[in-house]
Copies of this chain bind each other. A is one copy, B any other.
């Protein structure tokens, strides 16, 4: 049985977490490690955390010393500026990493909040750096993950800089669909874990605009929405909408 102790308001389990038989392996960690390397990887993960819906995994300003791999659940990250404005910078799901932004200053630069009850693996960053000096493939994998994050952000910048409301929402839905698919869920129907307001914040729109876009998509038969439940009826239609609006 795992030991338990309360840290902040969060339950910490000191378990022997085993990457070696985690079925998210191919999402979060590199393939093709030999037996010894796999054992080391298991040691790298120091613990698992359960985070309840609405709780923070970390907050902007806190000292950074670990990154987190999402075992299950759903998160958002957001940044806040003095004058009260804030923006959701991303939504993260199973198999994705959280906390990469903290490396640069050794301080988290955004908040990470669970949008549903979730579980993460805690990967102390010094362990990760140590191990990636030993295991090439791990090193390379990690670099790719960071780079992918940069590319992803460029995509969002593109979205925010050049697309109109409906294109943004279409892009957002298609992106979710694709990520759910990669995790073995239906590409065509899913529950949104976030509110209209959070979607709007992420997409640089007001919640009313998001809501109207949803309604419009429904009218046009592209999707069926019922609150947080979304069914995509016409993927091609959504794609078309994205590319050749205006121009």
- A residues with a Cβ closer than 8 A to B are 79, 81-87, 89, 100-105, 109-110, 129, 132-134, 136, 139-140, 143-151, 153-154, 156-158, 160-162, 201-204, 243-244, 247
Contacts and interface: CB of A to CB of B under 8 A. Distances in A.
A84 to B, nearest CB: 7
Given A85-B162, A109-B154, A136-B129, A144 B104 contact: yes
Contacts of A202: 161
Count this chain's copies in the assembly.
2
9 contacts: A100-B147, A105-B148, A109-B154, A143-B146, A153-B153, A153-B157, A160-B160, A161-B201, A161-B204
Nearest to A146: B146
Interface of A is mostly: helix
Nearest to A83: B243
B89 A157 contact: yes
A207 to B, nearest CB: 14
A247 B160 contact: no
Given A160-B157, A161-B204, A139 B133 contact: yes
Contacts of A204: 160-162
Contact of A89 (B103, B149, B154): B154
A148 B153 CA distance: 13
